[in-house]
């Protein structure tokens, strides 16, 4: 990682249906506001292939008023950054409406912007860091080794992870083609490095590096408005389109 700030895209994913535990914790505390889970990504061009979203079960999240009509679910740390960047208003001020642990958010159904599967579930991931991004991670198993391996783990042991198998039933979607790995870059790299579980963090870091470089420098879009274009060309275009559509914003840290 370099020195200056990281320019993420904050993806807004509106809640379609809360899990029963979240519903109970929230009650009428958000007023009439629409609530969005906000994920920080470096790869907005992969949003077509989102199959679920991840939270950390032991991370503490909040729902913060963004304005009169909307509220964002993320960590307190991220909400503070957003307030200082003028993303949530008034600038510099945060109003936490609800505090909620990640464990209660699992099982919530959300709208996934631009995704071929328009609604997906919130699932648990061991390796979500509370200290990075918003603490919410979009899952794109076709192009992210971490996301793919976590999905495999969840499907193997749904009871252990406290999820219903149907929540993890959406298969990876081909989004980007690369010359070396084909239409499923992340699964191919995970296989090549013989990764067995999301606990193999060292190999996953290596896989992430390989998949990221291959996708960025050699990838071609297979779907969406910029189909046929290189990832390098399409990435800022998808980002700008999502921002223009009110489905994302620039978020730095
Ligand atoms: B990326 P960097 Cl398809 N904890 O988005 C763990 N991981 C987090 C996180 C957190 N709190 N917040 C964001 N991330 C993930 C898509 C993606 C990402 C693909 C491929 C690679 C990839 C879909 N998941 O990242 O440490 C998010 O996953 C590999 C670089 O700031 C975010 O982008 O470099 C990325 O890590 C940011 O990682």
Note the pLDDT tens digit of each residue in 157-189. 999 999 999 999 999 999 999 999 999 999 999
Nearest CA to ligand 1 atom 14: 137
Task: Please give the Cα distance from 141 to 115 (Å, whole number).
Answer: 13
Nearest CA to ligand 1 atom 22: 144
Task: Please give the Cα distance from 208 to 197 (Å, whole number).
Answer: 14
Q: Cβ atoms within 10 A of the Cβ of 242, count?
A: 21
Beta pairing partners, 100: 61
Q: Report, as an integer, the average pLDDT of 2-16.
A: 92
| Ligand 1 proximity of 140 Cβ (cutoff 6 Å) | yes
Q: In this structure, what DSSP letter does residue 253 have?
A: -
| pLDDT of 188 | 98
Task: Please give the Cα distance from 69 to 35 (Å, whole number).
Answer: 9
| Ligand 1 proximity of 147 Cβ (cutoff 6 Å) | yes
Q: Which residue has the tokens 């042991």?
A: 157
Could you tell me which of 73, 232, 205 has the C-alpha nearest to residue 137?
A: 73
Q: In this structure, what DSSP letter does residue 178 have?
A: B
**What is the Å distance from ligand 1's center to 206 Cα?**
14
Q: Which residue has the tokens 């109970």?
A: 24
Nearest CA to ligand 1 atom 12: 133
The 10s digit of each residue's pLDDT in 82-121 is 999 999 999 999 999 999 999 999 999 999 999 999 999 9
Residue of 4, 43, 48 to test ligand 1 pocket, by largest number of atoms within 8 Å of CB? 43
| pLDDT of 45 | 98
- Is-contact 202 149, C-beta < 8 A? no
**What is the Å distance from ligand 1's center to 8 Cα?**
9
Model confidence at 4, in pLDDT bands (50, 70, 90)? confident
- pTM here is 0.97
């Amino acid at each position: 990682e370099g020195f200056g700030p990281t320019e993420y895209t904050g993806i807004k994913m509106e809640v379609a249906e809360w899990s029963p535990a979240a519903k109970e914790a929230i009650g009428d505390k958000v007023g009439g506001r629409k609530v969005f889970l906000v994920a920080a990504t470096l790869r907005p061009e992969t949003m077509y292939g989102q199959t679920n979203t991840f939270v950390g079960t032991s991370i503490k999240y909040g729902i913060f008023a963004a304005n009169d009509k909307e509220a964002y679910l993320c960590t307190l740390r991220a909400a503070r950054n957003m307030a200082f960047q003028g993303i949530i208003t008034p600038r510099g001020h945060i109003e936490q409406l609800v505090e909620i642990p990640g464990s209660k958010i699992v099982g919530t159904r959300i709208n996934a912007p631009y995704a071929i599967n328009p609604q997906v579930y919130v699932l648990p991931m061991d390796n979500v860091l509370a200290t990075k991004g918003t603490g919410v991670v979009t899952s794109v198993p076709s192009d992210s080794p971490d996301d793919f391996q976590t999905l495999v783990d969840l499907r193997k042991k749904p009871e252990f992870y406290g999820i219903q198998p149907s929540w993890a039933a959406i298969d990876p979607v081909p989004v980007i083609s690369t010359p070396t790995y084909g239409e499923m870059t992340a699964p191919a790299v995970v296989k090549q490095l013989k990764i067995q579980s999301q606990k193999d963090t060292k190999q996953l870091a290596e896989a992430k590096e390989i998949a990221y470089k291959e996708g960025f420098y050699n990838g071609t879009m297979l779907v969406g408005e910029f189909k046929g274009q290189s990832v390098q060309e399409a990435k800022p275009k998808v980002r700008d389109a999502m921002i223009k559509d009110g489905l994302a914003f620039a978020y730095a840290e």
